[in-house]
Structure 1
């Protein structure tokens, strides 16, 4: 049971399945001079959390192996304390933020989290914390990937995994940038994606994605954002000297036909996050669970089929 000076946090002890997650009592973090301490109201469960817990990120060399690892990137909550150098936020203010440091003892699955002020933004107005918490990691990933593609208004872009959390934001943000979007998804998700502004729905079960795209867009799309990890299958749908961005790990495709290849590695950006929070984006919560049921949340996410994100509510 947490006391006035301690809090609950979920960590991974070693690596393994959901059973590696453990709820522990630890001291409440003290914010540094340029940090804010956030009382967590909601923390999103993302695929990267499962990869962290399983040890995949350590095995890939993205973080040093640890005996205990903090879990969780996204947070929505209330500013509890501020460091002396912080002027942009005030105690009691509702905020959202992103913890992008993999090699850390504590993550967002906790009662409190200390974040750099540059990783925090005002929470979207009139939005429940559980929904607001789904914004930082996934929307920033989509926005930063679109920045890498660097398309002019009127361009065409394929978004794979368009019904997923990153994919849905990518479709919506691309449309708002004046792009024509081909959404690769299950046909059952077509009506939702069309509401987001997708111009074409391409069945994710297709045997030849490139052929289907080229029938819609002769010569191929100007760019592809690959959130589903299709690799060369999505690359083949891009025109010569186009652009390709992947948000998944592993080795990206070879830059065939002069196509620019980008691999998005997310970085916290409070200014960009504030803009996204003010954009009235479509937020999707697949369900909420209490903090101590983090392992169950990981099991549900691993099963797949969710639309939106599961959220832990300390």
Structure 2
């Protein structure tokens, strides 16, 4: 009998109760040309996971329907040597990456003990970075980096980052500040001092959208040059943007209609092993800071989704596998 592994399946679209432990065949060495197996130790829960499970993205999923396995972020150990450009990664190497779930639409995600991975997704984990921390980084830091690339704001421009307490928003604050932008951060109360240390020029607590807009316009009277919408506030914060500015979201259903010549963008991150390797090294050197909100066993995935949706503690919730 073929070996099996534990996975978490979405059995129907709905609330966290639709998540169920299941058994699926364990990947066999060499069965998928060009791919390598990774024995997972940790997987991150993302906003996209919650929205896919709830059925908000059905129209973008082609023919894929439950049961399927969620998950993008991962950290674990290589079971096979990685060929090609990643030839330096031997079996047993600790690696992190993210699986481009939406590009593949196979229904095979990282809520599982073993996954198939393209070597081009993989970055080695520095020795002093644990699996939990590593699993919080990949999708968030690449989303922030590629999102800032799309915003294309020049040094000195003012950027409003909503959801700055979350893991994507925190990376956006740090990377934008390093790029010379004036960052206004909207965050959980109590995070202001830390976010200023991380690079925010001004920081104010989250609240109703009109309050956020008023505060942003007080700090940038002509309107901000751009918005990195980590809180998925959507059109409600568009009035904070100056005429001809730019607005970016990472949820396709939270993109506002353009007005006043504002360029509206959507970012769906693509794996970038070189940038992820650099980011993990910076995390190791304390040059970049991530945030883990909670760590829970795979079997408690439904409760983990409930906590993620409640948003009581900003940051990435990690499933230990």
TM-score, scaled relative to structure 1: 0.92
**Distance 1:108-1:147 versus aligned 2 partners, 3 A rule:** same
Give yes or no for contact 2:166–2:316 (8 Å, CA) kept in 1.
Answer: no
In the alignment, which of 276, 288, 304 is matched to residue 311 of structure 2? 304
Alpha-carbon distance between aligned partners in 2 of 1:57 and 1:177, rounded to the nearest angstrom = 33
In the alignment, which of 254, 260, 263 is matched to residue 263 of structure 2? 260
| 1:21 counterpart residue number | 19
Aligned residue pairs, count: 311
Alpha-carbon distance between aligned partners in 1 of 2:90 and 2:115, rounded to the nearest angstrom = 16
> What is the CA deviation profile of residues 16-71 of structure 1, one whole-angstrom value per residue up to 9, with x for unaligned ones?
2222212222222245332221110111112221222222222x333434231111
> How far has the Cα of 1:7 moved from its partner?
1.4
| 2:214 counterpart residue number | 211
Give yes or no for contact 1:35–1:82 (8 Å, CA) kept in 2.
Answer: no
Tell me, yes or no, if structure 1 residue 101 matches structure 2 residue 101. yes
| 1:295 counterpart residue number | 302
Tell me, yes or no, if structure 1 residue 282 matches structure 2 residue 289. yes
1:30-179 equivalent positions in 2, closer than 5 A:
30=28, 32-58=32-58, 60-82=59-81, 85=84, 87-102=87-102, 103-179=105-181
Give yes or no for contact 2:44–2:71 (8 Å, CA) kept in 1.
Answer: yes
**Distance 1:240-1:105 versus aligned 2 partners, 3 A rule:** closer
Give yes or no for contact 1:182–1:199 (8 Å, CA) kept in 2.
Answer: yes
**Distance 1:188-1:251 versus aligned 2 partners, 3 A rule:** closer
Give yes or no for contact 1:33–1:84 (8 Å, CA) kept in 2.
Answer: no
User: Aligned-residue CA RMSD in angstroms?
Assistant: 2.0
> How far has the Cα of 1:160 moved from its partner?
0.8
Alpha-carbon distance between aligned partners in 1 of 2:171 and 2:83, rounded to the nearest angstrom = 35
TM-score, scaled relative to structure 2: 0.90
| 2:184 counterpart residue number | 182
Tell me, what secondary structure is at the counterpart of 1:110?
coil
Give yes or no for contact 1:187–1:201 (8 Å, CA) kept in 2.
Answer: no
Alpha-carbon distance between aligned partners in 2 of 1:92 and 1:83, rounded to the nearest angstrom = 10
**Distance 1:251-1:290 versus aligned 2 partners, 3 A rule:** closer
Give yes or no for contact 1:7–1:110 (8 Å, CA) kept in 2.
Answer: yes
> How far has the Cα of 1:251 moved from its partner?
5.3
Give yes or no for contact 2:9–2:69 (8 Å, CA) kept in 1.
Answer: yes
